[in-house]
């Protein structure tokens, strides 16, 4: 009977610990989203992805996803002039 009680209590402890682990991992891997300004300090170790510049003649929003030197994932939002302008 004691063995059955110990088994039941240990399974409940394992279940509680298993429920906590994914939350911690999800918080660590959630990217930090930021808007670029001229004073933004960029620590870019690895660019994961960048949105393509559209073929329009106007300022367009862009997005770059990157990892910093500590391995933290970031999403940087910024603006650029589109590629659709002609000089003449």
Residue 65 · residue 74 · CB < 8 Å: yes
pLDDT, tens digit (0-9, with 9 covering 90-100), for 16-64: 555 555 555 545 678 889 999 999 999 999 999 999 999 999 999 999 9
The first and second tokens of residue 26, run together, are 């999800």
Asked whether the whole model's pTM tops 0.75, one would answer no
Q: State the DSSP string of 5-29.
A: HHHHHHHHHHHHHHHHHHHHHHHHH
DSSP secondary structure code for residue 70 in this structure: T
- In the sheet with 46-50, reading across from the earlier edge strand, the strands are 32-35, 73-81, 59-67, 46-50
Q: What is the pLDDT of residues 71-80, one digit of tens each?
A: 999 999 999 9
Tell me what pLDDT residue 62 has. Answer: 96
Bridge partners of 73, per DSSP, are 67
């Amino acid at each position: 009977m004691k063995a059955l009680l110990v088994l039941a209590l240990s399974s409940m402890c394992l279940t509680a610990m298993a429920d906590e682990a994914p939350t911690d991992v999800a918080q660590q891997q959630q990217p930090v989203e930021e808007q670029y300004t001229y004073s933004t300090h960029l620590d870019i170790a690895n660019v994961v992805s960048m949105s393509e510049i559209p073929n329009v003649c106007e300022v367009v929003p862009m997005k770059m996803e990157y990892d910093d030197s500590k391995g933290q994932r970031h999403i940087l939002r910024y603006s650029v002039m589109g590629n659709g302008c002609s000089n003449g």
